[in-house]
Amino acid sequence: MHTSAPRDQDLVDSRLDFAYFTHHPDRVYLDSAATAQRPASVLDAERTFVERDYSAVHRGASEAVGIATEAFEQARESVARFVGAGSDELVWTENATDAINVVALGISDASAGLGDDTLALRPGDEILVTEAEHHANLIPWQRAAARTGATLRWVEVRDDGTWDLDALRAATTTRTRLIAFGHISNVTGMIAPVVDVVEHARSIGALTVLDACQSVPHLPVDFTGLGVDFAAFSGHKMLGPTGIGGLYGRAELLNALPPARTGGSTITTVTMTSAEFLPAPQRFEAGTQPVSQAVALGAAVDYLAGWGMARVHAHETELAGLLTEAVAAVPGVRLVGPPPGAERAAIVSVDVDGVHAHDVGQFLDARGISVRVGHHCAQPLHRRLGLTATTRASAYLYSTPDDVAAFGAALAEVRSFFGADR
C-alpha cells in the first residue's frame, strides 16, 4: 500500500485559484503534461499589462517603451532566478521546441563557419540522444547531424521504456561531442540522473542539452547547480501562456553560439555585406517579442515560488504513487515506465489490452476525465515498446487524490465496456 507524508490540503485547495475548475467543477483534468491550467494571478498580470502598459520593448526612447521594457526584463529576471540562471543566460523563445532548435541550428551554423567555431561539429563527431526523447529533442539533432556530417547515436531503453547511466556511458565514445536528453520523460515519468550525466559528459569533453519541459514546472530546478550547458522549457506547461518558452545557456556558450534567427533587435552594426550581433540574450531575440506572454510567465513563476517547488514536488510525488497503484490494480493494463514504488514524476502512460488508446481516451472523456492519447511525440519509444499509442494521465499541483481515484475507477471499466475482458 502506498504511504506518504500527510496530504497538503492547501495545495489541494489551490484549484480555487484556477477559473477552469470553477467553469468545469466536475471535470477531472489529468492532462497537465500537455498544457497546464493558469491561475487568476497569471491571467490578471497579462491582462493588466496589455490594458495599462502595452508597448514595444527595446525600441525607442519614449516613456511607454521604458515602462514596457522594464516589465519585460523584470519577468526575465524572475524566470531566470526561478531556474537558477543569470538574466543574461535566459533567452525568450516560442517554446521548448524552439529553444532546442535555436541551439541545434546555431551549432550547425558554427560548424559551417558562421561565427565562433568553438561549438562546431566535425564529420565523424557524435551527437548522443536517448531512445525515449520527445521529437523536439530528436529531430533537431537529426538535422544537425545531416548538416555537419556528425553521427547521431542513441541510448537504447529497457523493456519498460527507461534507461540508466550505465547504458548512457556505454553509448558514448571518444568522438561524443554533445549529449541531449530529457530531465523527465513525458511518456514514462522517468527522472534522469542529470548531475551524473553532466559529470560523465564533462569527463569526455561533451556538451549537454537538457529538455526540461516536464521538470521545471514540477520540481526544484537549478540549471547552474545541475551543471548543464543548455536547457529548454515551455511556459504553457508551468501555468503560463502559450507562445513563450525559455532557453538557458551558460553565458560564455550563448555568446559563442551564432543566432539561429537574425534581424531587428539582435544587432550592433549592419552593413550591406555583414552584421555584428549583440551579446546574449538579445542576440537571439529577433523581431517583435512576446512581451505580454513574458510578463505572464513571470507571474506564473511567482505563483509557483509562492507555494515552493519542494512543496509542489512532494504533493506530486504522493500523486505519482497513487497513480501507479491505481494502474497496477487494474487487470489487463500495462504500465509504461518505472514500476509502483520507484521514483517517477506524476505521469503514467498505459496500454489497455485489447482496446486502442484512442478508445480508452474517449471512454474516460465521456466520464469527465481529460487525459492524453497517442504517441506523445515519442514514436521511437513507442515503437521500441511494441506500441502504436498509449493513454497518459498527468497531474499537477492542483490535482487531487480524488482525481486519481476517479481515473482508476474509470480505467477499471474500460476492458469490460469494450468486451476485451472476455
pLDDT in tens, 350-386: 999 999 999 999 999 999 999 999 999 999 999 999 9
Give the residue numbers marked as catalytic. 377
Split at pLDDT 50, 70, 90, the class of 6 is very low
Give the chain's mean pLDDT: 95
Distance of CA 376 to the CA centre of its chain: 13
> Which has the closest alpha carbon to 172: 190, 151, 188, 192?
151
Which residue type is seen at 415?
A: R
> Which has the closest alpha carbon to 351: 370, 374, 367, 369?
374
**pLDDT number for residue 61:** 82
Helix and strand tally (H, E) in the chain? 15, 15
User: Cα dist. 190→132, 345, 399 in Å?
Assistant: 10, 7, 20
> Which has the closest alpha carbon to 229: 204, 201, 203?
201
Query: Please, which residues have CB within 8 angstroms of residue 366's CB and are 6 or more apart in sequence?
Result: none
pLDDT over 80 at 12, yes or no: no
User: Residue 263 region, left (φ>0) first, then alpha (ψ -120 to 50), else beta?
Assistant: left
The pTM (predicted TM-score) of the whole model is: 0.96
Cα–Cα distance for residue pair 17/32, rounded to 1 Å: 16
Return the CA Rg of the chain.
22
**pLDDT number for residue 13:** 83
Cα–Cα distance for residue pair 295/37, rounded to 1 Å: 17
Span of 36-40, 117-121, 130-134, 356-360 with lowest mean pLDDT: 117-121
Q: Where do the domains of the chain lie, and which CATH numbers do they carry?
A: 9-30+308-417 (3.90.1150.10), 44-305 (3.40.640.10)
More confident: 310 or 60? 310
Question: Which grid cell is 92?
Answer: 525568450
**Side-chain half-sphere exposure of 421, counting CA atoms within 13 A:** 12
Kindly report the backbone phi and psi dihedral angles of residue 377, in degrees, each rounded to the nearest multiple of 5, phi listed first. Answer: 55, 40
Helix (H) or strand (E) holding 300: helix 291-307
Split at pLDDT 50, 70, 90, the class of 4 is very low
Split at pLDDT 50, 70, 90, the class of 56 is confident
